[in-house]
Chains A and B, each alone.
Chain A
Amino acid sequence: MGEPSFLFGQFVSGLTTAMFLFLIASGLSLIFGVLRVLNFAHGSFYMLGAYTAWQLVQWLGPRTERFWLAALGAALVVAVLGALVERLLLRHLYRREELYQLLFTYGVVLVLGDLARFVWGTQQLSTPRPPSLDGALSLFGVQIPYYSLFIMALGPLIAVAFWWLLQRSGAGRMIRAAALDREMLMALGADTGWIYTGMFALGSFFAGLGGALVTPVRAVVPGMDVEIIVEAFVVVVIGGLGSLWGTFLGALLFGQVLAFGILVFPRFSIFAAFALMAAVLIVRPWGLFGKPLK
């Protein structure tokens, strides 16, 4: 199979992939958990985050610490867009069957994908790493870029922040109530409409942030939206739709299956990921940590 340092390298690369994916999949899972909508457009928000961040970095000046400002700005832009999509369009489809909601978000994928192609063209774009994270740590004979370490730390941090928001804060109590019984909450006088909009915007924010943070590592190209949504989808389904820790575990599993799958079946690592998803769906349709639908 290879030397220990090589295996460790695979493990680290799997972990980085996993934490990137968690950033995006957590929003997808959150939106499903509250709104019961499977949002195909989540990948498009990720892509828009990446393009917007690239644009802001060009304006603010590359190779400076203003990268962080650009990333935050991009995430905010995407959050506002998400709020608009939910407020103006999606909410009118809640009463319809799932098929219409699914196809609506698919329509958004098509429109945003082409808009990005129209504005930014088809060439590959990328931003340099911020200077503070330029460089790498040497650990067990593996070079781990500081930037990857940052991403690996950010993943669990965001998971804990989400957990705190949902389980320990006042807003979280409202959100959980909205997910459990929307009508009851409305009858009690809460404005559930804004909870839905807020959750959609928050999920979109993390999609945008994920997209912005990925620009120093991966090329920004058309098609990145569809690629990531399929992966995020697998992660969320494995972990259980709507479950935060399930999504975390799903992302870890997915990253490792991808990293080590390449060693076992050189050409079939994507296959292994989808097979894992199908296997989970067959045994536990609601995922490892999810709950069955009513």
Chain B
Amino acid sequence: MKPLRANLSRVPWVLVVCLAIAWVPWLGSRYATFLATDIVITALFACSLNLLLGSAGLVSFGHAAYFAAGAYACAILTKSHGLPFYAGLVAAPLLTAVLAAVFGFFCVRLTRIYFAMLTLAFAQIVWAICLKWNDVTGGEQGLPSVPQPDLAWMASLPLLAGLRPAEHFYLMALLIVGLCFGLLRMIGRSPFGRMLEVIRENRERAEFIGLDVRRYELAAFVLAGTFAGVAGALFGTFNRGVFPDFAYWSKSAEVLIMVILGGMGHFWGPAVGAATLLWLHQQITSYTQFWPFVLGTILIVLLFAFPGGMVGALDALRRRILGRPRA
């Protein structure tokens, strides 16, 4: 048993998976690239939520608000005001950070179920604004034909010359998402991230040792909103359109399901959950239009059978096969 375990843990898994993901455009399938772009961006969205849910133990039922705000901000700047995509990509998360700071200021004063409800209420306000402010957000029709950035410069790089624009966009999105994942990983492992875990595990004790719990929670809320804004800006551009549905509560629930499916106790859990759910969605909708039924059933089975999610279940399996855990 020992050599197997030693060899398995020596493989730099993250690097291997990253290379495999970056390889997708060379498969030559437009569909694979499309799905991969969707997955990569959504994975960032889910991972940003896990900063609240997994690290700080805060159940936000309105995370889609920041995703939508980022998407709308970027789309409005690039489409209605003709700014370059990169300006939108920088401005959108700044705006969602401000939005998350304002909403979060009120939310972190509440706990547990009331926290979840207030986040939901704020998200519905964002949704109502997106739906009704026709002059700016396009109302029910949303904003279609959002311009995509000109990535022709990528063609002049070696290796990338033969790729299509959608594949260039994928690589750019992958680069940005990769950077964000690196930052989120650093945040999770920093003293700040550890403090969030302390608060999650024992709030009273954290207060006792002199932590300003609300300030930590607010900081986590703002960071989560900021990264959701990045994901939104990327998604709106990838989707070539932004719609009020982005902020609706079912979207917030969907991303929560992704996090639970993957496993909120693990850094890569939300990404695994996002990839699984989007892939399943593509597969199942080609057979039947009753995707919500399937999703609901998956969710209910998951809650009863695998509360730790996929990564949690895999972890338990690995421990059983490879013997005692390290920690």
Given contacts A111-B292, A271-B125, 14 further A-B contacts (CB under 8 A): A99-B59, A99-B116, A103-B256, A103-B299, A103-B303, A106-B296, A107-B299, A108-B296, A110-B299, A111-B296, A117-B290, A278-B106, A278-B125, A293-B113
One of B126-134, B201-209, B270-278 contacting the partner: B126-134
B300–A274 touching, CB < 8 Å: no
User: Does residue A120 face the partner (Cβ distance < 8 Å to B)?
Assistant: no
A285–B300 touching, CB < 8 Å: no
Interface residues in A87-108 by Cβ distance below 8 A to B read 89, 92-93, 96-100, 102-104, 106-108
User: Does residue A230 face the partner (Cβ distance < 8 Å to B)?
Assistant: yes
- Residues of chain A within 8 A (CB-CB) of B106 are 278, 281-282
B296–A114 touching, CB < 8 Å: yes
- The 8 Å CB contact of B112, one of A96, A98, A271, is A98
- Residues of chain B within 8 A (CB-CB) of A34 are none
A281–B117 touching, CB < 8 Å: yes
- Residues of chain A within 8 A (CB-CB) of B256 are 99, 103
Top 9 A-B residue pairs of the complex, sorted by shortest distance between their CB atoms: A110-B296, A114-B293, A111-B296, A107-B299, A107-B300, A110-B292, A271-B128, A107-B296, A285-B114
What per-residue 1/0 map shows which CB atoms of B284-327 lie under 8 Å from chain A?
Answer: 00000010110111011001100100000000000000000000
Give B22 Cβ to nearest chain A Cβ, in Å: 33
Complex-state Cα separation, A74 to B270, whole angstroms: 41
- The 8 Å CB contact of B59, one of A89, A98, A104, is A98
Complex-state Cα separation, A97 to B120, whole angstroms: 18
- Residues of chain B within 8 A (CB-CB) of A118 are 290, 293
B292–A102 touching, CB < 8 Å: no
- Residues of chain A within 8 A (CB-CB) of B125 are 271, 274-275, 278
Complex-state Cα separation, A226 to B113, whole angstroms: 20
Complex-state Cα separation, A68 to B133, whole angstroms: 42
Complex-state Cα separation, A148 to B3, whole angstroms: 77
What per-residue 1/0 map shows which CB atoms of B92-131 lie under 8 Å from chain A?
Answer: 0000000000000010011111101110111011001101
Query: In the complex where A108-B300, A278-B125, A281-B110 touch, is A103 in contact with B132 (Cβ < 8 A)?
Result: no
User: Does residue A18 face the partner (Cβ distance < 8 Å to B)?
Assistant: no
- The 8 Å CB contact of B116, one of A92, A98, A114, A226, is A98
User: Does residue A185 face the partner (Cβ distance < 8 Å to B)?
Assistant: no
B114–A270 touching, CB < 8 Å: no
User: Does residue A268 face the partner (Cβ distance < 8 Å to B)?
Assistant: yes
User: Does residue A46 face the partner (Cβ distance < 8 Å to B)?
Assistant: no
The total of chain B residues at the interface (CB under 8 A) is 41
A267–B303 touching, CB < 8 Å: no
Complex-state Cα separation, A110 to B256, whole angstroms: 14
Give A279 Cβ to nearest chain B Cβ, in Å: 9
Complex-state Cα separation, A114 to B291, whole angstroms: 8
User: Does residue B249 face the partner (Cβ distance < 8 Å to A)?
Assistant: yes
Interface residues in A106-135 by Cβ distance below 8 A to B read 106-111, 113-115, 117-118
Give A105 Cβ to nearest chain B Cβ, in Å: 10
User: Does residue B253 face the partner (Cβ distance < 8 Å to A)?
Assistant: yes
- The 8 Å CB contact of A274, one of B113, B116, B121, B297, is B121
A226–B121 touching, CB < 8 Å: no
User: Does residue A277 face the partner (Cβ distance < 8 Å to B)?
Assistant: yes
Q: List 20 A-B contacts (CB under 8 A).
A: A38-B117, A93-B303, A99-B260, A100-B303, A104-B299, A106-B253, A107-B300, A110-B295, A110-B299, A113-B292, A114-B290, A114-B292, A226-B250, A267-B133, A278-B121, A278-B125, A281-B110, A285-B118, A293-B112, A293-B114
- Residues of chain A within 8 A (CB-CB) of B129 are 271
Complex-state Cα separation, A137 to B117, whole angstroms: 40
Complex-state Cα separation, A109 to B253, whole angstroms: 11
User: Does residue A45 face the partner (Cβ distance < 8 Å to B)?
Assistant: no
B296–A109 touching, CB < 8 Å: yes
User: Does residue A254 face the partner (Cβ distance < 8 Å to B)?
Assistant: no
Give B251 Cβ to nearest chain A Cβ, in Å: 12
A278–B122 touching, CB < 8 Å: yes
- The 8 Å CB contact of A281, one of B121, B131, B250, B297, is B121
Complex-state Cα separation, A237 to B117, whole angstroms: 8
User: Does residue A286 face the partner (Cβ distance < 8 Å to B)?
Assistant: yes
Complex-state Cα separation, A241 to B118, whole angstroms: 13
Closest to B125 in A: A274
Give A15 Cβ to nearest chain B Cβ, in Å: 23
Complex-state Cα separation, A65 to B304, whole angstroms: 45
- Residues of chain B within 8 A (CB-CB) of A293 are 111-114
Give B54 Cβ to nearest chain A Cβ, in Å: 11
What per-residue 1/0 map shows which CB atoms of B228-255 lie under 8 Å from chain A?
Answer: 0000000000000000000001100100
Closest to A286 in B: B114
- The 8 Å CB contact of B124, one of A100, A274, A285, is A274
A89–B300 touching, CB < 8 Å: yes
Complex-state Cα separation, A111 to B301, whole angstroms: 12
A102–B114 touching, CB < 8 Å: no
Closest to B61 in A: A102
- Residues of chain A within 8 A (CB-CB) of B299 are 103-104, 106-107, 110
A230–B257 touching, CB < 8 Å: no
Closest to A281 in B: B118
